Amino acid sequence: MELPLIGWIGIMILSMAVLVKAADYFTTYSEKIGLILGISPFVIGATIVGVGTSMPELITSIISVYKGEPGIVSGNVVGSNITNILLIIGVGAIISKNTLSNKKLDENLDIPILAFITIFLLLMLRDGTFGFTEGIIMIVAYVIYTAYLIHDHRTEKAIEAKVKEDTAEKSKIKWHLPVIIIVSGFFIYIGAEWTIESVIKISEMLNIGTAIIAGTVVALGTSLPELVVSIQAARRKQAGMILGNIFGSNIFNSTIVMGVPALMTDLPVPAPVLAVGIPFLIGATMLLIYSSMSKHISSFEGALYVLMYSYFIIEFVST
């Protein structure tokens, strides 16, 4: 599509508006569906919301392979995971004003699993290539993680169902709820896809390099659904939704978004990802684990997260 710069700017603004509205519906009705099923907000975020908002990363990665640009995949995944932790959790903590807290933050194996999968991914990326075998391993890891979630949080179902029993009973006959979830999820994808397309076009018109686009603009663009969903959840004081969303999205990115394209071709790891992206992702993950030990993230810590994200952008662009 041949449009002037102002035209692509208009498309970007419209796409973001679609994202905001669709994410609002997606968050609201996914919670209702979760309550009907007796699922806790954390599990809703880690599965329904986390996976749904990560679809742009997956589709973008697959498209990049088909277009002969497999190097975008690792840059997109590492950049998106950094964005999810530093920017999205940081913004969520700031919007929450006091603290972003969840008593289940360090219970069971949620934090260790995120740390293990992140470290495992980074070890696979160190040699500069992510291949078929690594892809299979990460996909299997995601299946195991999903099975763990279903089993480990099973007892929460009865608690949530009891608290929301009357609401859930009334909602069981509302067949349109899953339809709204599907439609809003579709529009999240459409909004994110056109946001990415417009940002890339604008970047090309401004002569910005592809490596910078892959690690910053594309990563930020594909993380917009997580940001919008987390902002909406923060306004509703749903800390479990925010944290579950980010945990689920990062694990989905590291396993499925990296794994599926690797089944199609070997994925090279660009130098900026090795030199800047990987060290920052290690630091961001360690920072999240440290904050999680106190079971809450303060507004001040959230500001530090955002500041560290800004530093990452500066370092990556200057590489």
pLDDT tens over the chain, length 319 residues: 678 989 988 998 898 788 767 877 877 787 777 777 777 666 666 666 666 667 778 877 887 787 777 888 898 899 999 999 999 888 888 887 666 655 555 555 667 888 899 999 999 999 999 999 999 999 999 988 888 776 765 544 444 444 444 444 444 547 788 888 889 888 877 887 787 787 778 878 878 766 677 778 778 877 776 787 778 777 777 666 677 778 878 898 999 999 999 999 999 998 889 999 999 999 998 888 777 776 677 888 889 999 999 999 999 988 7
Domain 5-318 in CATH 1.20.1420.30? The answer is: yes
- Residue 169's pLDDT is 47
Domain boundaries, the chain: 5-318
Question: Which residues touch 53 (CB under 8 Å, ≥6 apart)?
Answer: 23, 26, 188, 225, 226, 229, 245, 249
State both tokens at 247. Answer: 């945990």
Say what the pTM is.
0.77
Distance CA 27, CA 44 (A): 9
Give the pLDDT of residue 109.
64
Strands (E), 258-303: 267-268, 296-298
Quick one: which of 182, 208, 226, 179 has its CA closest to 80?
226
Among residues 259, 241, 288, 255, which one has the least CA distance to residue 48?
A: 241
Supply the pLDDT for residue 220.
82
Residues 12 and 211 sit within 8 Å (Cβ to Cβ): no
